[in-house]
Amino acid sequence: MTTLADLEFDNRFTASLAADPATANRPRQAPDVAFSRVHPTPTSGPEVIAVSDEVAELLGLDQAQLASEAFRDMVSGNLVLHGMDPHAMRYGGHQFGNWAGQLGDGRAIILGELLTPDGSRQTLQLKGAGRTPYSRSADGLAVLRSSIREFLCSEAMHHLGVPTTRALSLALTGDQVMRDMLYDGHPALEPGAVVLRVAPTFIRFGNFELPASLGEADRLRELTDFTIREYFPDLVGDDGPIDAETVIAFYRRVVESTADMIVHWQRVGFVHGVMNTDNLSILGLTIDYGPYGWLEDYDPDWTPNTTDRHGRRYRFGNQPGIGQWNLAQLGNALFPLVGDAEPLQDAIDGYVDRFKAGYGDMVRSKLGLKTWDVERDEPFTIELFDLLRAAETDMTVFFRRLADVPLRSDDSTGVDRVTGLDEAFYAPELVDDELRVRWGRWLEDYAARAAGEGLDDESRRAQMNRVNPIYVMRNWLAQEAIDASTAGDHWGVTALLDVMRDPYTERPGLEHFASKRPDWARTRVGCSMLSCSS
């Protein structure tokens, strides 16, 4: 049996990049550095609520270690292990399309880079661990409701097959935190909490943007060289030079992984809610689960973020375009290392083709088809999503029910098949005759497409159910867990975590977790809209 003291850390980020020489933990500008060393704020009464066993296994932690007081203290900010090097990263970013200057880890503190049993390195980061030099006017803390959402969604996204940062643990701090949830002048004390997040790195687009914007050429070069050698080593071989061509190849990789990630978001109905450039991972991982949400009824104009309610910049249907816009800002930041805009432009021009190809393949798989031809199938796809929007239709339920609709029918109009989709409609009685006729025609076309590929109902259903989840981290399910935990019962968190471990397999007794949004959640704060403090 080992203890946490046996864990081995190899902190290459802090060993390789420029450290802030100042040690004062107060909000300030920190020029010409990559990070500032800072320790977590101690908590008064830590209590571990939940642990992801899968992440624990990834890190090489056994059950004895997870049950120890040392683990409780480490994941709540009260214990810094030997070999850790706590710090907050410095970065900038474009927020809602506007340059915001220095931002940095305002309420996240990286503990260190852990060497795992498989020989890889995973960065451990506490979110809600207290003030850092980048906290500006904030306290650097997090509350229970936002921490539950981050913990559960990180793990749910992983099991859905979406690239994401992970979450090891969720812990109460025993402290109260003041928050004005809707920024409407009604602050209240809430239970404080901390999430321990895990990823190979938490480097973001904004890490490159800030030194580039300030003319910190040495810092930009150091960060780029470090990132390529550590996370894209195949681009340089055995300590080969990093020249302009290497930087362009690195940029292409980021373009591709970002496009692929957003295709996954669109597949499962995930809305990030705050796609600022400081919230985009250099590895194409979903990062920073703040005011995110899941489509209940299919609405490409929906955003969960109260701050975004007017412009709707980060709405579901706009995520692909925002991904490209953010990548353009990264390209601008890398330009000083390349000196030629044309190859960078060529790289980002490839985003559209990459996304379109991935999106078409994604829709094909959601429909259980074998082939996809843009010219033939794009109008077919446009009509489908127009129909989903025409009546309030639950996207997740729809695709599971579509898998059950038989391809053969005695009704040549296809209208009879529509009744098999009624479960997906929030108000089936409002799906009038005209809409049912449109649905019937679409279903006839769909049946013809599937039959033309020699698909039978059983094989088609199996294919569709592999990519169309039955369980997703619906906003109202998270809110139920939050309500219970706030009242002192954390069963809802562990139950949801367990359900989301296998989101594609329908299991008896879990019907509640596959249900459409209930009426009480339609307009409730935390279900329909959230703020950046949510």
pLDDT at position 2 is 73
Give the Cα separation of 209 and 318 in Å (integer).
Answer: 22
Q: Is the pLDDT of residue 534 over 50?
A: no
CA distance 280 to 244: 23
The answer to whether residues 184 and 232 belong to one domain is no
User: What CA–CA distance (Å, rounded) separates 155 from 118?
Assistant: 20
Q: Report CA torsion sign: 332, 335, 339, 344.
A: negative
Tell me the two tokens of residue 263. 């295709």
pTM of the model: 0.96
Q: What is the pLDDT of residues 143-171, one digit of tens each?
A: 999 999 999 999 999 999 999 999 999 99
Q: SS3 for 201?
A: coil
pLDDT in tens, 428-487: 988 999 999 999 999 999 999 998 999 999 999 999 999 999 999 999 999 999 999 999
Q: Residue 366: name the closest of 392, 336, 400 by CA.
A: 400
Q: Return the closest-CA partner of residue 36 out of 172, 167, 143, 140.
A: 140
pLDDT of residue 414: 60
Residues 24 and 145 in one domain: yes
- pLDDT at site 238: 76
Tokens of 426: 């929030």
Q: Nearest-CA neighbor of 369 among 267, 272, 471, 447?
A: 447
Residue with tokens 């270690």: 65
Lookup result for tokens 């009242």: 487
Angle at 199 between CA 195 and CA 202, to 5 degrees: 90
Positive or negative, the Cα torsion across 515, 269, 161, 465? positive
Nearest to 130 by CA among 65, 80, 94, 57: 80
* Tokens at 87, concatenated: 């710090």
- Residues 446 and 421 placed together within one structural domain of the fold: yes
| pLDDT at residue 132 greater than cutoff 90 | yes
234-264 tens-digit pLDDT: 999 877 889 999 999 999 999 999 999 999 9
Same domain, 180 and 262: no
Q: In whole angstroms, give the CA distance from residue 438 to residue 297.
A: 19
Residue 291 within a domain? yes
Amino acid at position 252, single letter: R
Report d(CA 208, CA 219) in Å as an integer: 9
Query: What CA–CA distance (Å, rounded) separates 404 from 344?
Result: 46
Single out the residue of 141, 133, 125 nearest to residue 175, CA to CA.
141
Please tell me the predicted confidence (pLDDT) of residue 488. Answer: 94
Considering the domain architecture, whether residues 280 and 358 belong to the same structural domain is answered as: yes
Both 115 and 186 in one domain: the answer is yes
Beta strands 270-271 and 188-199, pairing class: unpaired
From 147, 179, 203, the end of a domain falls on 203
Same domain membership, residue 233 and residue 194: no
Task: Give me the helix-helix angle, 217-231 and 319-338, nearest 10°.
Answer: 110
Q: Are residues 17 and 130 in the same domain?
A: yes
Within-domain flag for 336: yes
pLDDT at 532: 66
User: Which tens digit of pLDDT belongs to each residue from 360-370?
Assistant: 999 999 999 99
Are 172 and 191 within 8 A, CB to CB?
A: yes
User: Is the Cβ–Cβ distance between 287 and 202 less than 8 Å?
Assistant: yes
Q: In this structure, is residue 285 part of a structural domain?
A: yes
* DSSP of 461-488: HHHHHHHS-S----HHHHHHHHHHHHTT
Q: How many residues does the chain have?
A: 534
Q: What angle do CA 257, 261, 263 make, to 5 degrees?
A: 120
Q: Are 55 and 167 spatial neighbours (Cβ–Cβ below 8 Å)? A: yes
What would the pLDDT profile of 315-348 be if each residue is shown by its tens digit?
999 999 999 999 999 999 999 999 999 999 999 9
Query: Which residues have a catalytic role annotated?
Result: 278
The answer to whether residue 533 is domain-embedded is no
The candidate with the shortest Cα–Cα distance to 406, out of 376, 447, 360, is: 447
Question: What's the confidence (pLDDT) of residue 14?
Answer: 98
Is 501 found in the same domain as 400? no
Q: Identity (one letter) of the amino acid at 496?
A: L
91 or 417, which is more confident: 91
**Other residues' Cβ atoms within 10 Å of the Cβ of residue 26:** 9
* pLDDT value of position 411: 63
Q: For residue 257, is it within any domain?
A: yes
User: What residues make up the domain containing 480?
Assistant: 475-515
Look at the block and give the residue holding tokens 């190859």.
Answer: 343
Do residue 276 and residue 223 come from a single domain? yes
Order of strands across the sheet that contains 35-37: 35-37, 87-89, 108-115, 121-127, 188-199, 166-179, 47-51
Contact yes or no for 57/105 (Cβ under 8 A): no
Look at the chain and report how many structural domains it folds into.
4
Is residue 66 one of the residues assigned to a domain?
yes
Band of residue 410 on the pLDDT scale cut at 50, 70, 90: low
286 plus 390 within the same structural domain: no
CB-based contacts of 1, cutoff 8 Å, min separation 6: 62, 64
Residue 528 forms part of a structural domain: no
Confidence at 412, pLDDT banded by 50, 70, 90 = low
| Pair (402, 266) in one structural domain | no
- How many angstroms from the chain centroid is the CA of residue 315? 15
Task: In whole angstroms, give the CA distance from residue 479 to residue 206.
Answer: 31
| Domain-terminating residue out of 331, 365, 399 | 365
In a domain, 522, yes or no: no
